[in-house]
Structure 1
Amino acid sequence: MRHPPRSVLLAVTGAVALVGAALVPVVSASGATPACTVQYAVTSEWDTGFQSSVTITNNMAAMSSWSLSFDFAGGQEVTQGWNAKWSQSGTTVTAANESWNGSLATGAGVSAGFLGSWSGSNAVPTEFRLNGTTCNVDAQPTPTPTPTPTGPPATGSAPALHVSGTKLVDAGGTAHRLLGVNRSGGEFMCVQGYGIWDGPVDDTAIKAIADWKANAVRIPLNEECWLGLSNVKPEYAGANYIDAVKELVTRVESYGLTPILDLHWSYGQYTGNSSGCSDVHATCQKPMPDAQYAPSFWSSVAGAFKDDQAAVFDLFNEPYPDRATSTTAQAWQCWRDGGTCPGIGYEVAGTQDLVDSIRGAGARNVIMIGGLAYSNDLSQWLTYKPTDPAGNLVAAYHGYNFNTCADASCWNSTLAPVAAQVPLVAGEIGENTCSHAFVDQAMKWFDDRGLSYLGWTWNTWDCSSGPSLISDYSGTPTAYGAGLRDHLQAINP
């Protein structure tokens, strides 16, 4: 998909004045540790509105869910929030945990924020209650901490893969289809300053994916976060980001799932046709990867995973140079060769450049490459296919119910010829109907030809705008996600 719906975009008309954080101090008369502490900060304020954050620390027994309440004294009203389910009744505001951040161990903390409106005064709340206990005051005796479970241990291992003719095969030569889900978050949370992953990625969370009988997880990444560029918060960038990705890859593989590392968001300013944003930074889907940072990204990723043949590389999420250039030939040439492409204001790294970066780092891993029109058009993929000394290239297709190529007629005419010469993986399939009629049709077409596919996305978003496969991270499917789950469980009993 071009952009995840969880992105929090704060657009405010009028002059905005950033103010010093108005913090509620933690007060304890006797010096004992409070049962819970809450820091409340007004991070910005303007004529009729403001933005605030709350940071909660739990010093009581571990909680499986939490609810924070406080009262406004100046007639303020919450208008929008994130990282919690915000509600207001009269002057009382309540923030309840999301499905993915409900566990709060002893000593653990969680942060959330909101936008509000005000008139007259914007007084800071003075009392906060966590699950009914008043915070920032003396504690009752501290209970023995309860360990937070991480889920049962993994027992599997992901297979090393390579291309053999039109199939992906394991080390023993057995054909291996990639059937799984996308796990969005790594492409946007870091660059937006909220974290690295959107929701949990611990053992329990990954086991829930494996329980659907999936065998692959596609992990979208952000090149600026991986490279640690200055516009990303240090705690979410560079070595911290890389270590988090490595840890997730190890955990995914331990459950027998193939990790697919995807360059999703990249650098370069594009404001032309179908632009996702005007920002030069990696805050949206760009038409092509940039020559300034994308080769360095892939050289670094390849160096990190060159000894792990179970990891698959997805070169660039959804190219769309066809929206910028005037002819199809120009678009495909830009796709392969990069350089100065008509309609794109930054120097482009072509698919050949990025394949060369990966192989130059000594990695022979399988590489997936999507076509034009957000990876929906593979009509000239074979004609412009980059060269690969390792012979490990795979064609990648993305298909949604609202795409141009979204039925058997188009698949027969454009995908089947590609699949007759190289392995074909549908890196994303999905629909925005909160149903699964389209993905049912797509899965059957790919099943009949022994091809691979992954559903978008294993995140708890609105299935009509995401689309989202799940309603919680224990794996409860949405009406849309039930189609993929039931099908995977039926073909992999």
Structure 2
Amino acid sequence: MSLQDMLRNNRRLRSGLIAGAAATLVAGLGIVAAANASAAAGCKVTYSAPSQWPGGFTANVNVTNLGDAINGWTLVWNFPSGQTVTQAWNAAVTQSGAQVTARNVSYNGSIATNATVSFGFNGSWAGSNTTPTSFVLNGTTCTGSVSATTAAPTTTSAAPTSRTPTSAAPTTRTPSSPPPAGNAMAAVAAMQPGWNLGNSLDATGSDETSWGNPTITAALLDNVRAQGFNSIRIPVTWGHHLGGAPNYTIESAYLNRVKEVVNWALADGFYVMLNIHHDSWEWMSNMPSDSTVITKYNAIWTQLAAAFRDSSSKLVFESVNEPQFAGNDNTQGNTLLNQLNTSFRTIVRNSGGNNASRLLVLPTLHTSADQVHLDALAGTFTAMNDPNLIATVHYYGYWPFSVNIAGTTTFDATTQADLTGAFDRVYNTFVAKNIPVIIGEYGLLGFDRNTGTIEQGEKLKFFEYFGYYARQRKLTTMLWDNGQHFGRTSFVWSDPELIGQIKSSWTTRSGSTSSDQVYVSRTNAITAKTLTLNLNGLSFLGLRQGSTDLVNGTDYTVSGSTLTLTQSAVTRLVGSRAYGINATLSARFSAGVPWRIDIRTYDPPILSAATGTTGSFAIPTQFRGDQLATMEAVYVSGGNAGPQNWTSFKEFDYTFTPNNSASTITLKPEFFAEVNDGSKVQLTFHFWSGTKLTYFVTKSGSTVTGSLT
């Protein structure tokens, strides 16, 4: 074994480094041989607060049992700065004064020797957020060492002074025991929540970095686990690493690399979902016209089944990602998918070992939640009569909201109904019949474009409701992350508000208001401002600016669901009335994360005439504190202009992109590609303040002229 290999293995002796406030309580790694002791006890706790905002924070706690295996655990600590836990996940947390008590939940009560369990919580703070320094597990103070509680040990090895690897086999972390075979519902419940290692091993280039992400490391998986995720989906594209017919042998180096990453994840205690990913559209979509598809598919799964035959039962196989077949309607497509799913199951089950009862995940066509595809997959499940099967679909939201098109800029009733409809259909088709379901990917399509495609507050409302309703329908969810959410080397979330809302939704609801923005005109007289409270079954506790509570009756009033900021409070909050955000408030509710409200000063934006080309055209824009919500495009002569002309409202960042710092609104080549030459187009820009501005563009060949009239 090389030094590098031993260093990788010894990583199991540490917890991943977490950005933010962290305290690792380790006083040594003494190993006790307790031949006469009936109960050796010892523990290590790593506490981190990777996300923090005014008045609130998210914390992660990793508890490693260094003593004898325990069944049922209670962890106690004291907050040094008056912090309060507001909700938790993967543990039942209560608080009395400064003392906090966390107890295991049904699926994580057992901690084997050297195994780790993780839980997390959201909390509130005022003044400071000092890290706690002492933790007690089942009555034993966690010092990082082991002691016998009933008899002295017969021999003791000295605590090592360094982490330098030796030739001895490294200490490994034993994953917690999964639910018994055949209890697929319990296993899938234990997989909640999940995370996708996207755009790495599924890259369609020569290696895992070809789509821009760095090489996967053990530290990355450690840190993802520390965030409270219990399962990880590892998408893999295999077609670029296969030999020729008839064997289609997987390159040994590539297969070994996948095995290495899978084993890292299993060692961290994850449930792991391994699949065939972008092969689905690269070559599998040619089925049935290409007779080699099924042969190649069978060859891949035959090799994977053999390679992972004896792996932990916490490794789960997914037959294929987002299956699709060119030139086939729903009936033909579902028939072809049934052929692949059936072949997949037969190969895995016949390979023996742990594969005989391994959990297998089968998708619908396109991983769609449309009833026709759910029914087709349900028929496959009936024919297979296998208790260890899981259904999977993906959900990226109501499409007009997910990409900001057709004027759907808010999480409105239609957007919510699309979500509840999809989850209800999945529940009724599968979960109600004791067949578990995993939402194998979820997110918003706008994530892959401009960060302002979906307005922040509306985005947070979507994810709050998504997590809540998934819990109602007993669905396990796996966040799609292609590197845009959790930093692959920084281990920091790019949007702390988003992940705070997602984590909160795993266990409770959060409140909000009708908008996270209050616009105050710079030139008009200041007036009181109203917002509608979305209580979501909670109680409104009050408003806070930083660590200062606003005064009910003086700074704001509440009447039913109407929250009003008084004129005097608005006047104080906008101060000198500089353009943009003048103040930020935090609306607090009886549970969940606080809701941020920005107080913004604005004047109507100013657009200017411009000339350019279809490949490069930007409208000079003085935003003056405002933000663009959407754009309409119609021909002056009548009819909708530009792409997707079934609507006048164009797709954000596909046809237009605002840039507040550069003071421009760019019309993209994709927009002009579908604008009639010589026709004058009227654009209407809708801003979040409610301001609407009109602008005109005319395309003449590759030349574009823009004017105010």
| TM-score for both structures, normalised by structure 1 | 0.53
8 Å contact 1:259–1:311 — kept in the other structure? yes
Distance 1:439 1:485 in 2: 10
- SS at the partner of 2:198? coil
State the Cα deviation string for residues 218-253 of structure 1 (Å, max 9, x = none): 0001222554569xxx9xx61111111111111111
8 Å contact 1:315–1:369 — kept in the other structure? yes
Cα deviation for residue 194 of structure 1 reads: 6.0
- SS at the partner of 1:259? strand
Equivalent of 1:475, from 471, 492, 495? 492
8 Å contact 1:400–1:438 — kept in the other structure? no
State the Cα deviation string for residues 368-405 of structure 1 (Å, max 9, x = none): 11102334435312123374475311000110114599
8 Å contact 2:198–2:483 — kept in the other structure? no
Cα deviation for residue 202 of structure 1 reads: 2.1
RMSD: 3.8
1:214 aligns with 2:229: yes
8 Å contact 1:333–1:384 — kept in the other structure? no
Cα deviation for residue 188 of structure 1 reads: 3.9
Cα deviation for residue 424 of structure 1 reads: 0.9
Q: Specify whether residues 158 and 456 from structure 1 end up closer, same or farther in structure 2 by C-alpha distance, changes over 3 A only.
A: farther
1:443 aligns with 2:457: no
- Residue 175 (structure 2) aligns with: 157
Cα deviation for residue 356 of structure 1 reads: 1.1
Give 1:30-179 correspondences, 5 Å limit.
155=173, 157=175, 159-160=177-178, 164=182, 167-169=185-187, 176-179=190-193
1:372 aligns with 2:365: yes
- Residue 238 (structure 1) aligns with: 251
8 Å contact 1:286–1:319 — kept in the other structure? no
8 Å contact 2:184–2:387 — kept in the other structure? no
Distance 2:395 2:164 in 1: 39
- Residue 397 (structure 1) aligns with: 393
Q: Specify whether residues 401 and 163 from structure 1 end up closer, same or farther in structure 2 by C-alpha distance, changes over 3 A only.
A: farther
Give 1:427-466 correspondences, 5 Å limit.
427-431=440-444, 432=446, 433=454, 435-457=459-481, 459-461=482-484
- Residue 703 (structure 2) aligns with: none
Equivalent of 2:216, from 188, 194, 201? 201
Q: Specify whether residues 188 and 425 from structure 1 end up closer, same or farther in structure 2 by C-alpha distance, changes over 3 A only.
A: closer
Q: Specify whether residues 292 and 176 from structure 1 end up closer, same or farther in structure 2 by C-alpha distance, changes over 3 A only.
A: same
- Residue 319 (structure 2) aligns with: 315
Distance 1:306 1:389 in 2: 22
State the Cα deviation string for residues 251-286 of structure 1 (Å, max 9, x = none): 11111111110110227xxxxxxxx6xx65x8xx87
Distance 2:253 2:264 in 1: 17
Alignment length, in residue pairs? 300
Q: Specify whether residues 373 and 194 from structure 1 end up closer, same or farther in structure 2 by C-alpha distance, changes over 3 A only.
A: closer
Distance 1:375 1:214 in 2: 24
Name the amino acid aligned to 1:204.
A
- SS at the partner of 1:329? helix
Q: Percent identity?
A: 17
8 Å contact 1:158–1:253 — kept in the other structure? no
Name the amino acid aligned to 2:477.
Y
- Looking at secondary structure, tell me which structure has more strand per residue: 2
State the Cα deviation string for residues 153-192 of structure 1 (Å, max 9, x = none): 974515445664661339xxxx624311000134443634
State the Cα deviation string for residues 190-227 of structure 1 (Å, max 9, x = none): 63456589324323211210121001110001222554
- SS at the partner of 2:378? helix
Cα deviation for residue 306 of structure 1 reads: 1.9
Q: Specify whether residues 252 and 414 from structure 1 end up closer, same or farther in structure 2 by C-alpha distance, changes over 3 A only.
A: closer
Name the amino acid aligned to 1:399.
Y
1:292 aligns with 2:295: yes
- Residue 346 (structure 2) aligns with: 356
8 Å contact 1:225–1:241 — kept in the other structure? no
Cα deviation for residue 320 of structure 1 reads: 2.8
| TM-score for both structures, normalised by structure 2 | 0.38
Distance 1:359 1:228 in 2: 25
Q: Specify whether residues 293 and 351 from structure 1 end up closer, same or farther in structure 2 by C-alpha distance, changes over 3 A only.
A: same
Equivalent of 1:384, from 380, 386, 407? 380
Q: Specify whether residues 471 and 261 from structure 1 end up closer, same or farther in structure 2 by C-alpha distance, changes over 3 A only.
A: closer
Distance 2:228 2:507 in 1: 5
8 Å contact 2:369–2:422 — kept in the other structure? no
8 Å contact 2:318–2:360 — kept in the other structure? yes
8 Å contact 1:219–1:260 — kept in the other structure? yes
Q: Specify whether residues 190 and 372 from structure 1 end up closer, same or farther in structure 2 by C-alpha distance, changes over 3 A only.
A: closer
- Residue 418 (structure 1) aligns with: 430
Name the amino acid aligned to 2:480.
W
Distance 1:148 1:241 in 2: 29
Task: Please say which structure displays the higher CA radius of gyration.
Answer: 2
Structure 1: which 5+ runs fail to align? 1-146, 268-275, 338-349, 462-467
- SS at the partner of 1:312? strand
8 Å contact 1:399–1:406 — kept in the other structure? no
Cα deviation for residue 430 of structure 1 reads: 0.9
- SS at the partner of 1:291? helix
- SS at the partner of 1:476? coil
Distance 2:396 2:164 in 1: 39
Structure 2: which 5+ runs fail to align? 1-162, 166-170, 401-416, 447-453, 510-709
Distance 1:162 1:228 in 2: 38
